[in-house]
Amino acid sequence: MTIRTLLGGRIVRDLIVVVVLVFGVGSLAMLLAHVSPLDGFGALFDGAFGTREEVAETLVQATNLLFPALGIAIAFRAGLFNIGAEGQLVLGGFAAGWLGAQIPLPAVLAVPMVLIAGTLAGGAWGAIPGFLRARFGANEVIATLMLNVIAVLLATYLVNGPLALPGSGASETPTLPHAAQLGDLVANSRLTWAFPIALVLAFALRWLLQRTVFGYELRAAGDAPEAAKRAGIDLGRTALIAMSLSGALAGLGGATIVAGELHRFNTGLSPGYGFIAIAVALVGNLDPLWIIVAAFAFGVLQSGGIAMQAEAGVPRDVVSLVTGLVIIALAGRRVVATRRTT
Amino acid sequence: MNALAAGVLAILTLTLIKATPLIYAALGGVLSERSGVVNIGLEGILIAGAFTSVVVSGATGSPVVGALCGIVAGALLAAILAYGATRLGVDQIVAGTGLNIAALAAAAFGIVLVYHQPGATHEVPAFGLAGQTTLILLAFAVAVLLHVVLNRTPWGLHVRACGEDPGAAEAAGIDALRTRFTAVVIGGAIASLGGVYLALAELDLYSDGMTAGRGFIALAAVIFGRWTPLGATGAALFFGFFSALQFSLQRAGVPSELMQALPYLAAVIALAGFAGRVRAPASDGVPYVRS
Amino acid sequence: MQAVDGVDLDLFAGEIHALVGENGAGKSTLAAIAYGAVRPDEGTVTAAGVVGLVHQHFKLIERLRVWENVLLNREPRRGLTIDAAAARERVRALGEAYGLRVDPDALVETLPVGIKQRVELLRELDREPAVLLLDEPTASLAPGEIASFFATIAGLAARGTAILVVTHKLAEVIAYSERVTVMRAGAVVARHRTSDTSAAQIAREMVGGEVPALAARAERPLEPLLEAREFSAVSGTSALIDATFTVGAGEIVGIAGIEGNGQSALADALAGVVAFSGTLSLAGTALGASDTPAERLQRGLRVIPQDRRREALVLDWNVRDNAVLGRQRVIPFARYGEAARELIARFDVRPPNPDAIVGLLSGGNQQKIVVGRALAGAPALIVAYQPTRGIDIGAAVLVQSRLIEARNAGAGVLLISFELDEIFACADRVLVLAQGRIAGAFARDTIDRGRIGALMAGHA
């Protein structure tokens, strides 16, 4: 039985690994693309920090990652794998975009409605694998993976078919009325109130995990399920709640993308945030506060990556490649107590 | 031959075509999991097999050489997971997920590097009818072979022992880590043939996202097949059948997205029905650490 | 602290040599070194042939067959495949030769514990070892089976095998060994010819002084507390059938039995982890057949589980959070620290630091937390399942004393143990569990070791 190492050598070592991967593999890929690493990374960091608007965009990417990462971390802490954050995020965005366009309301009601709709939709989609796990002991890894694909197909079908609204393009909803849009924080940018909302949520989740009985029981279910069961903790109920909460956070993330950045739902609203968020959760050691830092780091990679492709001609896929390698490298962090389901 | 018989024959043929990549991937998954290593990275291995075989076939003009290189690529990817799982004792599900993301990105990057265009490769020399049929029959042959190896050979017994209780296996003098490593790598080689088939027999090129989650459906097939080669093959055929139905039902007016979702829905529903009644190898997914 | 420190041990062909020490003294580690599974930091191990080891917790693969386990990695072959027929015959013949008959085709998971030990033994014997190490070999045997087990061992010794028996059962040491080596805290503290020493002397050498005394049992009027009628349950492979018994408030009822005869089903059903059939009532009110553990805890029923590392503790957490587990909703969150400090003081948990990580504590201190937790808040009924498993004598005596004190204060205690000595020391009444049924009942003053041993083995 392993002891998860406390703050100290292990986190430092993991950070070094991440840095080596980012710069090492990144440079290698750039060289393969006939681009000097200096140019490539230069474009990346310049794109992330160069101007005020670019910093704002980096924060936008960080925010988009923070929501699902918090959700994934909650699931991990409860001993569950939520690989379906992408699907939960998409459905959350769809609910927000559709309801917002369908039901015009004054701003003070429209924004909460849109955000709550996204949260509930994501939460419901997360509840499905949670329920399957609680009631049947079904493997939530496969369930969430399957539901990811089904979610995108479902959203595409609904938005083009039975729930199509007038004035929309292909596979998207019409533009949200201004009242339903999240206000900008920085002019000429896409940074909205979503960013502070995400930060507040991170702090709230940390408090929930460390300072409440609910958090105590959730962590016990994740760290020692058999002991938790005998201590009176209902593992099935914990699984259902944790997966629903996890989905809700991802769904809220989708809603903020729709309400804040795109101002409409589009099936392509996420370039894989739900998967990159897995890396963010791991780099943040499953701690909501550290995840803020990790989300920022990956936000740099995401927004810088766009510039890197545009200015230096290095395909953005390099960023995804490095992200995947980071996940592999940090898989050594034994995130879930070993136990069997199907 | 009347229309009904022709229709049934068409569905059966299509089932075989759709099922073959799943069979290969599922067989690779079975071997890996029987030794005790969960391989979530099957999707990434399919991608590696598909992409590599396309590029090499394009470069050499020979689909056979492409296929062989595809197998090597799949085995290499599996070796990364195997190394992490055995020597480093990492969380296998997390590592597999990372592998999938990295493989997808590497292939996308590779397309741009080699073909100077994003999204998809050119068409490359692919297998004709003879080659396609061979690959389909080979899948079934591998299933039978794996069944015999696991149940009748010493190495197969050692693999099963490592999957149930690596500590006990080591007490008998078996190197559990090496056995697991070998099983995962061979499993990766088998699974990559699924990607090879997809690329060089079905579609004649590689495009982003071509594998579309088949690696995950294969995992579901492993479970429904109760972690046996023959069972997983049967389950893969079942899922292939749903895939084959897609086109016919689409012509009948059922929305295309529902059709595309059928195999995944079938997997989720069956997961609920099967769960709790089948037992994985006792040490499946549990890293073995020598104390 | 070294697990094993500067140990010299010589084993001669044909002798039966006992290695004794309390839990944590280093005897299992020494055996593992002798076997070759663990490499020593210093020193050498030399053997005149193959060394076999029969582990305390069997290294058998449950879902494989007997012959697959016995011949694992030494399978007879026919070409590229295994010659299964030859393998079966070889195992059958082996069993005949040593008087340890087993069905070669049986799945190990279906076998009773005593037969599993035969399979484990056969596996080592097939290698024709010059040295055979046996780690706590009689832990799962009925008293009646112990004699025939040692007869088998004596037969092996007569053929020239050197036998090392690692044990803490001093009665067996005196009865069956020729020489004995005593270990304490990783070092050898004494060597004797068995005929020159006594159990009492060995016990003193094991502990390094006098064995601490158990708490006294007070006279108590009895009130009915737990009533079980035709109580049946299944937990995994453990099955309890039609058990009818009572436990009174203020008494300790000991459940004697060999491991694998329904104890886990009994404990898990009382804990609410599995459902039961029949009737069960606590203080007059019935317990629901499919209650959850939370409901049982609410009724004042606490269970000390058999496997503390997996079933009772969160090893990654600190002492404070573990001390509260089970009462996390009863105690206000802000008072967790206070409750933990109270437990640490009352149960002498070392180090007395609420922030210490439980996984790093010794087994004895871990168990003190588990027991302290179970006894906190004056529960009505305590089910103690192997409460002193794998802990040092000092901690064991403390745990047993606390159980007696709880009994003195009016709680009912159901003590399920595989160690007869523990039951005889603590219990007011003894029930024998054999093949899932209650086979006999004895009051403290009518305890008959021979009769109990026979019942445990399944003889009427």
Strand partners, A311: none
Contact predicate A321/A21, CB 8 Å: no
Per DSSP, the residues of C211-237 read PPPPPPPPP---EEEEEEEEEEEEETT
Handedness of CA B77, B79, B82, B84 (dihedral sign): negative
pLDDT 10s digits, B229-240: 999 999 999 989
- pLDDT tens string C311-334: 999 999 999 999 999 999 999 999
How high is the pLDDT of residue A9? 60
Query: What are the start-end ranges of the H helices in chain A?
Result: 9-20, 26-32, 37-49, 52-77, 85-102, 107-136, 140-160, 194-211, 213-223, 225-230, 235-256, 273-283, 288-307, 317-330
Q: Is the dihedral of CA B113, B117, B119, B121 positive or negative?
A: negative
**Average pLDDT, integer, range A283-292:** 92
Chain C within 8 Å of B148 (Cβ-Cβ)? yes
- Look up residue A229 and give its two tokens: 């069961």
ipTM of the complex: 0.88
CA angle C429, C430, C433 (to 5 degrees): 150
Q: Which amino acid is at B26?
A: A
Q: Reduce the DSSP state of residue A169 to 3 states and report it.
A: coil
Which of the four pLDDT bands, split at 50, 70 and 90, describes residue B75?
very high
User: Do residues C157 and C16 lie in contact, with contact meaning Cβ atoms separated by under 8 Å?
Assistant: yes
Query: Among all chains, which residue has been given the structure tokens 């799982």?
Result: B85
> Which residues, in sequence order, are bridge partners of residue C430?
C254, C442
List helix spans (H) across B129-175: 129-152, 154-164, 166-171
Q: What is the pLDDT of residue B252?
A: 77
Coil vs helix vs strand at A149: helix
pLDDT at A250: 98
Position C402 scores a pLDDT of 95
One-letter amino acid of B12: L
pLDDT value, residue B275: 61
Flag whether pLDDT at C404 surpasses 90. yes
Per-residue pLDDT for C366 more than 90? yes
Mean pLDDT (whole number) for B84-96: 87
Task: Identify the residue with better confidence: C34 or A198.
Answer: A198
Residues 6 or more apart whose Cβ sits within 8 Å of residue B38: B32, B92, B93, B96, B284, B285
On the 0-12 / 13-18 / 19+ scale of CB atoms within 10 A, A43 is buried
Structure token pair of residue A241:
């709640």
C351 phi-psi bin (left φ>0, alpha ψ -120 to 50, beta other): beta
Q: How confident is the model at residue A7 (pLDDT cuts 50, 70, 90)?
A: very low
C109 contacts chain B (CB < 8 A)? no
Answer for the pair A44, A37: CB distance below 8 angstroms, yes or no. Answer: no
Substitution target in B97, B115, B214, B224 with the highest count of A β-carbons within 10 Å is B97
The arithmetic mean of pLDDT across residues C43-65, rounded, is 88
Nearest CA in chain B to A313: B112
Rg, Å, chain A Cα set: 20
Whether A146 sits inside 8 A of B216 (CB atoms) is yes
For range A247-269, the mean pLDDT: 93
Decide if pLDDT at C96 tops 70. yes
State the pairing for strand pair C276-282/C252-256: unpaired
From residue C53, alpha-carbon distances to A6, B170, C112, C139 in Å are 37, 13, 20, 15
pLDDT of residue A333: 63
Average pLDDT (B112-121) is 87
Amino acid at B117: Q
Q: What pLDDT digit, counting tens, does each position of A316-338 carry? A: 889 899 999 988 888 876 555 44
* pLDDT, tens only, C150-177: 988 999 999 889 999 998 888 899 999 9
CA–CA dist B218, B221 (Å, integer): 5
Report the alpha-carbon distance of residue A141 to residue A16 in Å, rounded: 29
How far apart are the C-alpha atoms of B155 and C142, rounded to whole Å? 38
Amino acid letter, A253: G
The pLDDT, as a whole number, for residue C459 is 72
| CA distances in angstroms from A324 to A193, B39, B55, B88, C71, listed in the order given | 30, 15, 22, 18, 43
Cα–Cα distances in Å, from B274 out to B219, B224, B240, C324?
14, 7, 19, 37
Q: Give the sign of the dihedral formed by CA A119, CA A121, CA A126, CA A130.
A: positive
Band (pLDDT 50/70/90 cuts) for residue A54 is: confident
Q: Do C315 and A3 touch (CB under 8 A)?
A: yes
Region C52-79: what's the mean pLDDT?
A: 92
Q: Per-residue confidence at C397, pLDDT binned at 50, 70, 90?
A: very high
Q: Considering only residues C454 and C314, tell me which one the structure prediction assigns the higher pLDDT.
A: C314
Residue type, A293: V
CB C422 within 8 A of CB C107: no
∠ at Cα A24 (A18, A25), nearest 5°? Answer: 90
**C395: helix, strand or coil:** helix
Q: Residue C351, preceding bond cis, omega within 30 degrees?
A: yes
CB-closest option in A128, A150, A327 to B94: A327
Say how far apart CA A99 and CA A81 lie, in whole Å. Answer: 30
Distance separating alpha carbons of residues B157 and C409, to the nearest angstrom = 56
The 3-state DSSP composition of chain C as helix, strand, coil percent (nearest 5) reads 35, 25, 40
> With pLDDT > 70 as the criterion, what percentage of chain C qualifies?
99
Dihedral sign for Cα atoms in the order B155, B157, B160, B166: negative
What mean pLDDT, rounded, does chain B reach? 90
CB contact under 8 A, A223 and C317: yes
Give the SS3 label for residue B209: coil
Point out the residue among A135, A136, A153 whose CB comes nearest to the CB of B260: A153
Q: Residue B39 in contact with residue B32, Cβ under 8 Å?
A: yes
The verdict on A60 touching C (C-beta cutoff 8 Å) is no
Residue with tokens 């140019």, as numbered in its chain: A39
User: Which amino acid makes up residue A341?
Assistant: T
Give the residue among C324, C295, C311, C66 at the shortest CA–CA distance from A228. Answer: C311
Tell me the per-residue pLDDT of A167-184, one tens digit each, with 9 for 90 and over.
777 788 888 888 778 878
Q: List Cα–Cα distances, B252 to A153, B6, B216, B239, B248, in angstroms.
A: 19, 17, 28, 20, 6
A336 interaction partners in chain B (CB closer than 8 Å) = 91, 93
What is the average per-residue pLDDT within B50-76?
94
What are the structure tokens assigned to A180, written together? 């339903």
Count the residues in chain B: 291
For residue A341, name the pLDDT band (cuts at 50, 70, 90).
Answer: very low
Write the CB contacts of A204 (distance below 8 Å, at least 6 apart in sequence). none
Distance CA A236, CA A241 (A): 9
* Closest CB to A229 among C273, C328, C359: C273
What pLDDT band is residue B209 in, cutting at 50, 70 and 90?
A: confident
Q: Which residue's entry shows tokens 């599995």?
A: C274
Plot region of B54 (φ>0 → left; ψ -120 to 50 → alpha; else → beta) = alpha
> Do C87 and C71 touch, CB atoms closer than 8 A?
yes
Tokens of C162: 């050197």
Measured in degrees and rounded to the nearest 5, phi and psi for residue A237 equal -65, -40
Binding-face residues of C in 12-71 toward B, CB within 8 A: 37, 53, 55, 59-64, 68-69
> How far are the Cα atoms of A127, A232, C212, C336 from residue C375, in angstroms, in the given order?
38, 16, 21, 16
pLDDT at residue A340, rounded to an integer: 37
pLDDT at residue A342 tops 60: no
Chain position carrying tokens 């490649």: A321
Structure tokens at C259: 């491991």
| Integer Cα distance of A180 and A5 in angstroms | 45
Confidence at residue B174, expressed as pLDDT on a 0 to 100 scale: 93
Q: Is the pLDDT of residue A121 over 50?
A: yes
pLDDT attached to residue A5: 46
Please report residues of B whose CB lies closer than 8 A to that of C61: 161, 164-165, 168-169
Q: What is the mean pLDDT of chain A?
A: 88
Helix axis angle, A273-283 relative to A288-307, nearest 10°? Answer: 130
Mutation site for B-interface testing, chosen from C59, C61, C108 by largest number of B Cβ within 10 Å: C61
Find chain B residues with C-beta within 8 A of C75's C-beta.
Answer: 154, 157
Q: Which chain B residue has its CA at the smallest distance from C83's CA?
A: B152
Computed from CA positions of residues A339, C329, A132, A156, in that sequence, does the dihedral angle turn out positive or negative? negative
Quickly state the pLDDT bin for A4 (edges 50, 70, 90). very low
Q: How far is Cα A80 from Cα A76, in angstroms, rounded to an integer?
A: 5
Interface test with C, best of A6, A226, A230, A233 (most C CBs within 10 A): A230
pLDDT digits (tens, 9 = 90+) for B152-198: 999 999 999 999 999 999 988 899 999 999 999 999 999 999 999 99
Q: What are phi and psi of C210, to 5 degrees?
A: -90, 145
Q: Is the pLDDT of residue C1 over 70?
A: no
Amino acid B291: pLDDT? 61
Question: What was the pLDDT predicted at A6?
Answer: 45
